[in-house]
Structure 1
Amino acid sequence: MRRLPMSLLRVLWVATAMFASGSALAASCAWPDWDHFRQNTVSADGRVIDASTPEQVTVSEGQAYALFFALVANDRATFDRLLNWTQNNLAQGDLTQHLPAWHWGRREAKPGDTTPSWGVLDSNPASDADIWIAYTLLEAGRLWHERSYTALGTVLARSIVAKETAMLPGLGRTVLPGPVGFHPQDDAWRLNPSYVPLQVMHHLASALPEQPEWKAMLDSSAKLVTGTAPHGYSPDWVIYRSGKGFGPDEATKAESAYNAIRVYLWAGMLAADAPGRAAALDAFRPLADFVAAHGFPPERVDTQTGTPGSNAGNAGFSVAVAPYLAALGRSDLAQAQVQRSRSLATQSPLGYYSQVLVLFGLGYLDGLYRFDADGAVVPAWTSTCPAPR
């Protein structure tokens, strides 16, 4: 029997290994923004660090977003480091038993301490992070053909249902921002529209038919997103009252700011044929009108009057609204916001939050990923990489 040359055997072995990891044809696509973020914001052991804070904090949201970006980049090594750090430091070593704490960092020194200690600063989980982690694990299992990710995502999704949702009269099963602190009165719940990206909720509902609560939560999430912006601006926080529906959150003065900017981002990235897309886009047209008139998104808005404050949103705000403007067919406005974001980034370094908004917004606009009508993520590395910009 004739033997194959060693050079050909090596080629076949590499091809087989790439296929097994789900990365046949394209090992990865060039993504300089992710490379910069990974090198400058993610520690060697997989912690996303917000260097702008004295405590050098890590939040579960940052870990969740970075996991998603690592999947989009086909960067499984970083994905595993992020997942391991999250599990070991935020979930007491076991994500199947514990939802991740939302806040970790340098603890305040106690009398007699000679060195700072590090650990959980607030153990309450945050459902926005938990939902993104569960979604990304399920998608990583599908795209990388790894059952352990699928199993962990499924268990985590079940924990979210059990610990971070409630039956709200007149609204149904609804995502709460966390297990503790969001039911201030017997007839009132505090909710956050930016915590429930509709494409993510849609995919969890379809991917987990054995957990029918996700279908119910998709319905309540759509109402939360589109029913809380009376003047075209999403609030950071909202109060839902039994028998009265949605109303302003007095604690935050019904303000639209650093939470709500994500609502427009999520809406802009819905697939063209996604259910509910038209309603989501229509809900925020006054924001697009403001950007067209002023050249920037406002940093803060009174959602009860629709009155913007005097300050312009930062670079992250501009790139976050760009996909929404593009979805409305205003590619001119979208491109202008991308250019504004890049210009501001050259003037001063972007903070952690602006960086993740840039990764979401520019990664989407540059074609590195998209969502299909079912909410599944479609990374470019699964087909053809886009040309570098």
Structure 2
Amino acid sequence: MDGRTTGTGNRRRALLRAFGACAATFGALGGLNSAGAAPSTRKGAVPGVPPDANASVSPHCPGDDWPAWHQFKTRFLSADGRVMDRSMEDQRTVSEGQAYGLFFSLVANDRATFDKLLAWTESNLAQGDLIAHLPAWLWGRKTDGQWGVIDGNPASDADLWMAYVFAEAGRLWRVRRYAALGALLARRILAQETDFVPGLGRTLLPAPAGFHPAADQWRLNPSYVPMQVVRRLAGLFPDSGWPGLINSSLQQIVDPSSGGFAPEWTLYRAGHGFQLDPQTQAEGSYNAIRVYLWAGMLAPESPDTQVLSRKFEGMLRYVAQHGAPPERVDIRNGTASRDGPAGFSAALLPLLQSTGNAEGARAQEARVRALDAQSEPGYYSAALSLFGLGWQAGRFRFAADGALQLPWEAVCATR
């Protein structure tokens, strides 16, 4: 299961070449000018990173003091840097898990784990080169018993989070290599995972292939477009195609939601708008739970907060009446099958808190801890809990423009 290795020197030289080529790659989309600089920055600058920031943050900064993150690593992170879903027969790793792991590593100021996750992702999901390839979404034990990529189609939600985390890591840790990776991934996402959709404009697709079933139809996922991530990338690259994704992303979330619930998937037809997804119909479940999570973590001053905080009153009413979020819900009428796992309650904490329901947030936090004490959570539930409980504890916040705000940043002196 060990990932294949790539020579450190070769990879460093490739990144330096890529950084030098940033003008060519982003220049076609307007993100960098022909001199290799974003507007109003000097030549060679990386968006979000001070021009003189060549060194990483001081080793005296507070490190991995997040017990829940340490527990997550113990349960799900392999020695060579992959986040494993042990509940699945193929012992799979998904690119989403790697992206979340990178985010949590940054929040915990855990650079060693960050680099390990990055190296495994590049070696095993990106054919050894994140500059040239978006990461495959699924890796694990194949039917012939060999380990490797099972499905090479990338997943845009993971790619968005990776581009965001690399860009923020470059800024917070003052490492140009990370910032350059973020810029190049952002460019590749635009080129390979977006399409111009009549009535929506430039729109994020779930993957490069398989989600444009007919000439006038696109299958979309509202949980793939956290607005703080979209807005941050749009702000970092204001002259690229990213700003055009803001309105289409918000429409992906708002328009197909019904009765105060978010759908699992949605179908968009040119001239007709959003319709029920033929495969999942009106169900909201393991994908949709993240819509509430991302919305709840928006900054109060974010342009998207007011509309999204009011959009999901159906889910908040359901939780108040039943004491837990549903595992699966019909968004047309609010009927549900059974209570969701602990991670679902954790995912609702930010929305409950941000809408003024502190008592409801405390009740869901108590449910998370009670369920986790009864049985060990799976990978996905644990990841949702790290987001929800981590936000609730103040370990991270998102600014109005989507920038990541971390308590340790204020006390870390650069050298």
| TM-score, length basis structure 1 | 0.90
**Bigger shift: 26-35 or 293-302?**
26-35
Secondary structure of 2:131 counterpart: coil
Matched, 1:71 2:100: no
Question: Compared with structure 1, are the counterparts of its residues 150 and 210 closer, same or farther at alpha carbon in structure 2 (3 Å cutoff)?
Answer: farther
Name 1:235's counterpart in structure 2: 263
Name 1:161's counterpart in structure 2: 190
Secondary structure of 1:94 counterpart: coil
Q: Could you give the per-residue CA deviations for residues 304-350 of structure 1, whole angstroms, max 9, x where no partner exists?
A: x2322130111010010111111110010011001001101111110
Between the two proteins, the alignment pairs up a number of residues equal to 359
For structure 1, list consecutive stretches of 5 or more residues without a partner in the other structure: 1-18, 110-115
Matched, 1:325 2:360: no
Mapped to 2, the partners of 1:43 and 1:327 lie a distance apart of 35
Matched, 1:175 2:210: no
Q: 2:85 aligns with which of 44, 50, 61?
A: 50
Task: Say if 2:64 and 2:70, in contact at 8 Å, map to a contact too.
Answer: no
Mapped to 2, the partners of 1:216 and 1:77 lie a distance apart of 36
Name 1:282's counterpart in structure 2: 310
Matched, 1:295 2:323: yes
Q: 1:193 aligns with which of 222, 239, 253?
A: 222
Name 1:378's counterpart in structure 2: 405
Structure (1 or 2) with the larger CA radius of gyration: 1
Name 2:137's counterpart in structure 1: 102
Q: Could you give the per-residue CA deviations for residues 53-77 of structure 1, whole angstroms, max 9, x where no partner exists?
A: 1110000000000000000000011
Q: Could you give the per-residue CA deviations for residues 151-174 of structure 1, whole angstroms, max 9, x where no partner exists?
A: 111011111001000000010000
Question: Compared with structure 1, are the counterparts of its residues 330 and 54 closer, same or farther at alpha carbon in structure 2 (3 Å cutoff)?
Answer: same
Secondary structure of 1:157 counterpart: helix
Shift of 1:250: 1.7
Mapped to 2, the partners of 1:58 and 1:142 lie a distance apart of 28
Mapped to 2, the partners of 1:315 and 1:63 lie a distance apart of 21
Matched, 1:91 2:126: yes
Alignment of 1:20-35 (within 5 A): 20-23=55-58, 26-28=61-63, 30-35=65-70
Mapped to 2, the partners of 1:136 and 1:275 lie a distance apart of 22
Secondary structure of 1:152 counterpart: helix
Name 2:51's counterpart in structure 1: none
Secondary structure of 1:62 counterpart: helix
Shift of 1:26: 3.5
For structure 2, list consecutive stretches of 5 or more residues without a partner in the other structure: 1-53
Name 1:131's counterpart in structure 2: 160
Secondary structure of 2:140 counterpart: strand
Q: 1:37 aligns with which of 68, 72, 76?
A: 72
Q: 2:386 aligns with which of 351, 359, 365?
A: 359
Shift of 1:24: 7.1
How large is the Cα RMSD of the aligned pairs? 1.4
Question: Compared with structure 1, are the counterparts of its residues 169 and 31 closer, same or farther at alpha carbon in structure 2 (3 Å cutoff)?
Answer: same
| TM-score, length basis structure 2 | 0.85
Question: Compared with structure 1, are the counterparts of its residues 271 and 32 closer, same or farther at alpha carbon in structure 2 (3 Å cutoff)?
Answer: same
Q: 2:341 aligns with which of 299, 310, 314?
A: 314
Question: Compared with structure 1, are the counterparts of its residues 249 and 379 closer, same or farther at alpha carbon in structure 2 (3 Å cutoff)?
Answer: same
Mapped to 2, the partners of 1:72 and 1:148 lie a distance apart of 18
Q: Could you give the per-residue CA deviations for residues 137-161 of structure 1, whole angstroms, max 9, x where no partner exists?
A: 0000000111111111101111100
Name 1:141's counterpart in structure 2: 170
Task: Say if 1:26 and 1:383, in contact at 8 Å, map to a contact too.
Answer: no
Q: Could you give the per-residue CA deviations for residues 325-379 of structure 1, whole angstroms, max 9, x where no partner exists?
A: 1111001001100100110111111000001001100010001110011101111
Shift of 1:29: 5.7
Matched, 1:264 2:292: yes
Q: Could you give the per-residue CA deviations for residues 64-93 of structure 1, whole angstroms, max 9, x where no partner exists?
A: 000000000000110001001000000000
Give the AA of the match of 2:298. Answer: L
Mapped to 1, the partners of 2:335 and 2:114 lie a distance apart of 39
Mapped to 1, the partners of 2:60 and 2:150 lie a distance apart of 44
